[in-house]
Amino acid sequence: MHEQTATSPYALSDELVTYVQGLEGCGPQTQVVPFAEGAHNLVFRGYNGPAGFEDFVLRHAKHPAHDAMLRKEARVRYLIGDQAPRIWQCGRLASGVSVLLQEYIPGQPKNFNDLSAPEIGALAAVLGEVHAVVGERFSGRSGDEPSCCEGTYEDYVWAMIHESVHVRLSRFDTRPYPAAMAMLRDGTQVLRNSLARQAGHFRRPNQVFSLQHHDCNQDNVLWCSNGSPKLIDWNPTFGDPADELAYIFTDNHCSQSFTELFLQGYQAPRGSGDVTDRIPVYVLKNLLDDLAWAIEMRELHPGDLAWNAVYQQRLGAMSCYLQS
């Protein structure tokens, strides 16, 4: 969440301003200005009073399809604790679009590879606290309203593959992507073989599933002046904590030293087994997810050279993995 000026071209409707000014503690003097843009929402900052004090953040869904994600975050907020901004209110405009009113955190994102050893330890400790919130069921889908399923970590892996690869690609004609589809088939077989070899890690009964941020990239961690991290823009789900760690390390292109320091400071939840031994399986799962996502983006933005470059990059990453 990067600060932007009030001239940023984000949508700010009269309806939204009226909604904010009608909230308890606000009034006609309350100003709302564009602040930042996330993947699924526009973010505005509120100033309450003539002195213009920074008072709150208002997240506004870009599209009604993203409402459920905001509202789900609000519902699980009581589980999250102090690792995230406090949510004060979740409401809905007359137009049907949800808004989330939450604490303003005066922090900035940092590149994970630029973090100091104490900062890496603090981030690891925060993720450990989040993952300590466990249950016996995993979310069958991320975002929206997930179905909750019982099973093992292996069941969770295949549920995520079904959602992120099979369901995603079922919406498009994939015949123009023979190389990518061949890699997805080969990668899925490698995944199946890896799970069979590591049955002891993935098929144990009574495995616990952890609360996950599910989008823990360096843009979604704000660093406060006291060196503490706050996790923002949650897409909360329950799953294998090893999945979140694999995402953090690979999606953020983390160095070996970051990974080692993080794992030293991270405490896996009780009942989750050897989390680090499961990470390589999720690295492959995420590569399959990324390639299917790149096909989806290329199909949704035909002729856009930037998305074609993203697709080529994901294709190359999958090819390198399969050849290694």
Assess whether 99 and 117 both reside in one domain.
no
Residue 2: its pLDDT value, please? 32
Q: Say if 3 falls within a structural domain.
A: no
Assess whether 125 and 91 both reside in one domain.
no
Q: Say if 222 falls within a structural domain.
A: yes
According to DSSP, the β-strands at 98-103 and 54-61 are antiparallel
Q: Which two tokens stand for residue 121?
A: 């330890």
Q: At 38, which CATH number?
A: 3.30.200.20
Q: Say if 214 falls within a structural domain.
A: yes
Q: Say if 66 falls within a structural domain.
A: yes
Assess whether 90 and 200 both reside in one domain.
no
Instruction: Name the residue type at position 278.
Output: R
How many structural domains are present in the chain? 2
Residue 89: its pLDDT value, please? 81
Assess whether 164 and 270 both reside in one domain.
yes
Residue 268 is given by DSSP the state P
Residue ranges in the chain modelled with pLDDT below 70: 1-11, 48-54, 64-65, 143-146
Three-state DSSP at 175 gives: coil
Assess whether 49 and 126 both reside in one domain.
no
Assess whether 239 and 301 both reside in one domain.
yes
Ramachandran category for residue 77: left, alpha or beta (phi over 0 → left; psi -120 to 50 → alpha): alpha
Instruction: Please state, in angstroms and rounded to a whole number, the distance separating the CA atoms of residues 85 and 237.
Output: 18
Q: Say if 2 falls within a structural domain.
A: no
Assess whether 317 and 232 both reside in one domain.
yes
Assess whether 262 and 118 both reside in one domain.
yes
Residue 10: its pLDDT value, please? 54
- Render pLDDT for 13-22 as a digit per residue (tens, 0 to 9): 788 888 888 8
Could you tell me the pTM of the whole model?
Answer: 0.87
Q: Say if 7 falls within a structural domain.
A: no
Q: Which of 276, 278, 288 is nearest to 322 (CA)?
A: 288
Q: Which of 130, 119, 144, 133 is nearest to 231 (CA)?
A: 130
Q: Say if 71 falls within a structural domain.
A: yes
Q: At 120, which CATH number?
A: 3.90.1200.10
Final residue before a domain boundary, out of 85, 103, 121: 103
Assess whether 147 and 266 both reside in one domain.
yes
Final residue before a domain boundary, out of 79, 103, 127: 103
Final residue before a domain boundary, out of 56, 86, 103: 103
Instruction: Please state, in angstroms and rounded to a whole number, the distance separating the CA atoms of residues 116 and 258.
Output: 9
Domain that holds residue 86: 14-103
Assess whether 158 and 78 both reside in one domain.
no
Q: Say if 35 falls within a structural domain.
A: yes
Residue 5: its pLDDT value, please? 36
Instruction: Please state, in angstroms and rounded to a whole number, the distance separating the CA atoms of residues 242 and 274.
Output: 9
Assess whether 52 and 182 both reside in one domain.
no
Assess whether 133 and 156 both reside in one domain.
yes
